[in-house]
Amino acid sequence: MSKNKSDYLINRKDNQYEVVIGLEVHAQVTSESKLFSSSSTKFGAEPNTQVSLVDAAFPGMLPVINEFCVKQAIKTGIGLNAKINKRSVFDRKNYFYADLPQGYQISQFKDPIVGEGKVILDMPEGQKEVGIERLHLEQDAGKSIHDLDPQNTFVDLNRSGVALMEIVSKPDLRSPDEVSAYIKKLRSIMRYLGTCDGNMQEGSLRADVNVSVRVKGSKELGIRCEIKNVNSIKFMQMAIEYEANRQVDLIEDGKSIDQETRLFDTKKNETRSMRSKEDAHDYRYFPDPDLLPLEVSDEFVNELKKNIPELPDDKKKRFIDEFKLSPYEATILVSDIETAKYFEEVVAKMGKNKDIKLAVNWITGELFAVLNDKNLEISQSPVSAKNLAILVNLIKNGTISGKIAKTVFELMLDGDKDPQKIVEEKGLKQQSDPKAIEALIDKIINDNREKAIEYKQGKEKLFGFFVGQAMKVSGGKANPQLINEILKKKLQ
Amino acid sequence: MSEITKQSLSELVKNIKDKNLSSEEVTKAFIDRSEKSKELNAYITENYSSALENAKKFDQKPNLELKLPGIPMAVKDLFCTKDIRTTAGSKILGNFVPTYESTVTQNLWDEGAILIGKLNCDEFAMGSSNETSFFGNVQNPIDKSLVPGGSSGGSASAVAGQLTPITIGTDTGGSIRQPASFTGTVGLKPTYGSCSRYGIVAFASSLDQAGPMAQNVKDCALLQEVISTYDPKDSTSIEFKRNEYSKELTNNIKGKKIGIPKEYRVEGMPKEIEDLWQKGIEFAKDCGAQIVDITLPHTSYALPTYYIVAPAEASSNLARYDGVKYGFRSKGENLTDMYEKTRSEGFGDEVQRRIMIGTYVLSSGYYDAYYLKAQKIRKLIKNDFDEAYKKVDAILTPSTPSSAFKIGEKKDDPVSMYLNDIFTVPVNLAGLPGISIPAGQDTKGYPLGLQIIGKAFDEQSILNIAYAMEEKIKFKNKITDWWIK
């Protein structure tokens, strides 16, 4: 397998294959109630406690659209730089299943609420644009539970009728890494907008992955297989890797690829055929006669546009322009809205004479390490933005050294302590009085006369020894810059 | 004072308001007559004892301001009624007891009406003779072994036989107007969106509409006034100014322009229907209306269009009856087997036929040729009416191409059965209001009806025309009580 820069290619004898991937992401809309009923959408409730007569498809029950979910979909569309369709239509997708009470799913087929858009990915080699084909609203189904009883299947309808956004990408993705970046970017945008929490463990975000392969350079698309309902980025990547290789092997063996729906077995790390094209459901889509076409006015859309927060791409640009961050640093800081918020708060609290670079280093270095170690989100950070700002300022104005700061930071973790107070209480203030340091250095040179001579004769490595001694004797508090300056003078 | 069950709704309301009659007396009278009328098989579920209790309760604290003060009535068994079995005439819902009330019936109870029972109907309202009901045929009070029409056959039979003073039915392709015509009663199909569909077992959502059935136009107007409300629980319910139809009812229709569509002169139409129509035209003229010849060019496509659109929607609407959640369930080896057994045992032949037609016309490869084309024609049919209404205020046609037929006569000939709806389906496809009033009898003495079709939301005009014509026609239904021993 070659990995020259972005190229993810599968090599076989004489051929190099390119992988073509398109995703259908199902994102659960963040909303209190379901798409067509007033039942709660809260995760983790007792089975069948959040089910209305509409959700359970009782005779004569009718769907009524939840306006909030419509707004959420439009906001997401705006975030994807997409065309908002002022008229969209809800269709019925007909099929029988025990956890589909109506015998049809209300979805949008021909006329989705959101049309074409695009998402920008920040890849190590540079930016990549991924086309969005459409976004439509639809109902989720219930849940069949097969393993509670040897004879029976249990059905939980809590999820039945919950609003989903299906976001369909164009077949623009070329590698598992791009898929990962794409999912992360979508999730980031939706979290900024508050339209989907992106929680993959709770099933709020899952995807059907369409994979095909073709000889590198070919313009035509190969026959694709759809891998259904993959619920983690890692599994998506594994599934693509397996599936692409499977398809290449078939082609190399002179066999043909069947267009089919496949399942990814996470235990065996392989995809398996679920149903072939011939067995594909005929969903008999037709406009739902219980619902009128959904029409939104320009004012409605404009009002939503007005209240769209700054999104990751714009925020990144601003961070680069305003704070002189590198694109790399900016990308890291904007990828998660909470991180961006934290960073901006630190910047705000640092006041006039601030060192933004230093703050970025502390956030992406020490703080991230601690969060990672303790498995915490930045919103749960044990160190507040305010106190981190104070700490950075203490370094910047020379009150403490970077080294001491690390000690102070450790102490801050326990109850978000004020670093200023820690420095005072523990007497960690940096010695910046040149006379005191000069006296200190004189004593060290005096105690190590032989080494001083060796240094002067050309053994320059010994400089570090003297610095170390000075730090040791001062208990780490002596200003390292001053030590350097004075030492150099004294050892000349 | 005449016999209680022979009184019209207006008379009963007046007598209760004047305290000449108590709700209990009235309720008891209709229950007694219903008890004696079992042979009509108009009821699927009786609610007699609780009706009497409710009547007594009403009498203890009578609210005489209500529009239907203590008036007992039975309703078509397609309306979900809280805690009272609702079957839609089907085995598959044979044991179904809703925990909720349809908006339309709730409106009735809110105005003081009392439920005495649930009336027979074709299974899921699919039929024109009430012969598809799982609960058996309904007899037409006009004559033994005569169908009452359908699908609101139990409702029409109950009103004509005076088992209930008034009732409500539903009309998807003629299910109120055709049985009204067959039983010598009055039935109104309101504009689509006028009455809420919430809580009505769905047949074809874009066509279904509840409406009143009564012995005369005035009672129909009052009932329409009660049941028609805007309902946010039904997304297709429409907010518009609803009249107090009974108060604004007038027989002054001078200068009203009434259109006569030439396309309704269908081939093979019996002479007596043609004569009835002509008679209707004369009556309308007598009332001072102006007769205008009009054209509705796409009329002949209405029936095939209807028999694509309605089954398509029905095939999807009835998917929920799968044995999983409620209703009848047959044991199966696995899920698919359970579905197949439940649905083939739970649904009758006609329902299965329509599910298959509907499934077919929606299938990929056939969708464009059938469903999509039907939707386009539906638009053309609606345009025909829009054009016509630039010239006229209402349209007069026969209600049905024949009088009531014998039970069993058309049972094995679905096409001939479907032809019964030929004059009524265009109205549903266009979403317009239509009323059938009795206008004469054929040689056998069976009633024949005339249909007046109105502009959307203009129920008042067709009620007024019907009211004026009713006065001239002076129709008298011949009810011999043949079924009472």
Tens-place pLDDT, residues B329-359: 999 999 999 999 999 999 999 999 999 999 9
Of all residues in chain B, the one with the smallest CA distance to A92 is B316
**Residues in chain A closer than 8 A to B310 (CB atoms):** none
Q: Where are the domains of chain B?
A: 8-253
ipTM above 0.90, yes or no: yes
The DSSP H or E segment spanning A21 is: strand A15-28
Using a CB–CB cutoff of 8 Å, tell me whether B230 touches chain A.
no
Q: Please tell me the distance from the alpha carbon of residue A240 to that of residue A21, in angstroms, as a whole number.
A: 8
Of all residues in chain B, the one with the smallest CA distance to A157 is B325
Q: List, in order of start, the domains of chain A with CATH numbers.
A: 9-305 (no CATH), 310-426 (no CATH), 434-490 (1.10.10.410)
Q: How remote is the C-alpha of B313 from its chain's centroid?
A: 19
Choose among B378, B171, B396: nearest CA to B264: B396
In chain A, the percentage of residues whose pLDDT exceeds 70 is 99
The pLDDT of residue A5 is 53
**Residues in chain B closer than 8 A to A97 (CB atoms):** 335
pLDDT above 80 (res A196)? yes
The pLDDT of residue B470 is 98
pLDDT above 90 (res A441)? no
Would the CB atoms of A62 and B235 count as touching at under 8 Å? yes
Decide: B217 and B262 in contact? Cβ < 8 Å: no
Residue A230, strand partner residues: A207
Instruction: Identify which of B205, B232, B320 has the shortest CB distance to residue A289.
Output: B205
pLDDT above 60 (res A408)? yes
**Residues in chain B closer than 8 A to A56 (CB atoms):** 325
CA distance A70 to chain B (A): 15
Interface test with A, best of B231, B309, B324, B428 (most A CBs within 10 A): B324
The strand pair at B257-261 and B394-398 is best described as parallel
Task: Dump pLDDT digits (tens) for B192-218.
Answer: 999 999 999 999 999 999 999 999 999
More confident position, A44 or B460: B460
* DSSP designation for A308: P
The pLDDT of residue A189 is 97
pLDDT above 90 (res A476)? no
Summary mean pLDDT of chain A: 93
The DSSP H or E segment spanning A443 is: helix A434-447
CA distance A333 to chain B (A): 45
- Indicate the CATH number of B8-253 among 3.10.450.630, 2.40.50.140, 3.90.1300.10, 3.40.50.1100: 3.90.1300.10
Least confident of A219-228, A483-492, B234-243, B245-254: A483-492
10 Å CB burial of residue B468 (0-12, 13-18, 19+) is: buried
Would the CB atoms of A104 and B316 count as touching at under 8 Å? yes
**Residues in chain A closer than 8 A to B79 (CB atoms):** 60
The pLDDT of residue A492 is 78
Determine if the peptide bond prior to B151 is cis (ω within 30°): yes
The pLDDT of residue A393 is 94
Of all residues in chain A, the one with the smallest CA distance to B233 is A64
pLDDT above 60 (res A318)? yes
| Intervals of chain B under pLDDT 50 | none
The DSSP H or E segment spanning B395 is: strand B394-398
pLDDT above 80 (res A473)? yes
How much is the pTM?
0.92
Range A173-192 average pLDDT: 96
Using a CB–CB cutoff of 8 Å, tell me whether B360 touches chain A.
no
Task: Dump pLDDT digits (tens) for A253-288.
Answer: 999 999 999 999 999 999 999 887 767 789 999 999
pLDDT above 90 (res A403)? no
* Percent of chain B that is helix, strand, coil (3-state, to 5): 40, 15, 45
Would the CB atoms of B367 and A98 count as touching at under 8 Å? no
pLDDT above 50 (res A447)? yes
pLDDT above 60 (res A48)? yes
Helices (H), A263-384: 298-306, 312-323, 327-334, 337-349, 356-362, 368-374
Q: Band the pLDDT of A6: cuts 50, 70, 90.
A: low
